[in-house]
Amino acid sequence: MRDDDDVIVLSGLTKLYEPTPKWMRVFSRSHLRTTVRALDGVDLVVRAGEICAVVGPNGAGKTTMFRIMVGLTSATTGTGSILGLDVEKDSEQIRQVVGWMPSEDRSLLMRATSFENLQLHGRLQGMNRKELAARIPHVLDIVNLEPQTHTVVAGLSAGMRARLRLARALLPGPRALILDEPTGPVDPIAAYGLLTLIMDLAKQERLAVMISSHRLEEIEALQSHALLLDGGKVRYSGDLQSLRHEWERPQLELETTDHQSALAVLAGLQAQGIEAEIGEASVRCRPAGQAEVGAIVMRLGPAAANVTHIREIPMPLRDLIAQVYARGGNDA
């Protein structure tokens, strides 16, 4: 039986994209020759007030899963429900309880204002003018976009556009939010603001939130449940922070003033037993374990004076997933 707090429930969700029939290949340049298993038996429960971050490399199945949940495509087998409503059979009602934020800005009308975009979307969703007149100022206020109510979208920054897309998802007063790469083109500071907003919403409104991102640091900031997908399969479902702590060894790039300084930094790192590679005016290394960046730089001695910039390059998500798989993650 469904727990009242279980808002999103996926069970054995599987999606196959079948090959394009031969006769149709004449008309389509991007036809499919073999069956693609985009999702393979995905189980998941997201409770009220919980955020589930969906992580995976390109083609892992994130968008397909989201599209099934909002009724834009159907599952081949398995079931999905939101608040007890079947994502396929009850797609009309689902639209009233789910806020969907697709990954691209293309869905916004660039020459229309924020208000007009929300109005059009609301009308398409079957909301009446009176309802919208009350609801639009409220959602614009939630996303701190009230001053831009009558600004055309083309004049908004990437961060503002992302907030407008979030406002659009909030329009029906949803119980669940599905956000496909909401921070895609947004700079890190604006992205952090957007994520904080999403976290506050989840908590205050007890929304069940599913969010996909390629940026692990964002996923970590969410302090959420994580679903790691790879080739349509669930490789890990749980707390991503502990997974990352255990497995990740980020790479450090130390930029220097010139090649001579880079050579001195290289020697300093090697003296600490850290393997490093030299570039023209930079050095890259991957310290073992949770080594403190500050301590490593201090131990460089006088060579540290010529380090102009330190960049932490996160371990590619693909590598992290590969390690989960190697450890025997889920059905591996």
Ligand X SMILES: Nc1ncnc2c1ncn2[C@@H]1O[C@H](COP(=O)(O)OP(=O)(O)OP(=O)(O)O)[C@@H](O)[C@H]1O
User: Least Å distance between CB 40 and ligand X?
Assistant: 11
Nearest to ligand X of 76, 151 (CB atom): 76
Based on CB atoms, which residue is closest to ligand X, 56 or 182? 56
SS3 192: helix
The site for ligand X (CB under 6 A) is made up of 17, 32, 36, 38, 56, 58-64
Q: How far is CA 119 from CA 54, 60, 107, 127, 137, in A?
A: 30, 34, 14, 9, 11
Return the number of the residue (16 or 263) whose C-beta is nearest ligand X.
Answer: 16
Nearer to ligand X, 63 or 237 (CB): 63
Q: In whole angstroms, how far apart are CA 254 and each of 237, 271, 288, 293?
A: 34, 16, 16, 10
Closer of 55 and 276 to ligand X (Cβ): 55
Residue written as token pair 């591996």? 332
Rounded to a whole number of angstroms, the minimum distance from the CB of residue 216 to ligand X is: 14
In the complex, what is the shortest distance from the CB of residue 179 to ligand X, in angstroms, rounded to a whole number? 13
* Cβ proximity to ligand X, 58 vs 128, nearer residue: 58
Which distant-in-sequence residues (6+ apart) come within 8 Å of 39 by Cβ?
13, 14, 15, 61, 64, 65, 68, 75, 78, 232
Give me the least distance between CB of 119 and ligand X, in Å please: 29
| Distance between CA atoms of residues 44 and 116, nearest Å | 36
For the bound state, the minimum distance from the C-beta of residue 231 to ligand X, rounded and expressed in Å, comes to 8
User: Rounded distance, CA 55 to CA 170, Å?
Assistant: 23
Question: Cα–Cα–Cα angle for 204, 208, 214, nearest 5°?
Answer: 110
CB of residue 59 vs ligand X: minimum separation in angstroms?
Answer: 4
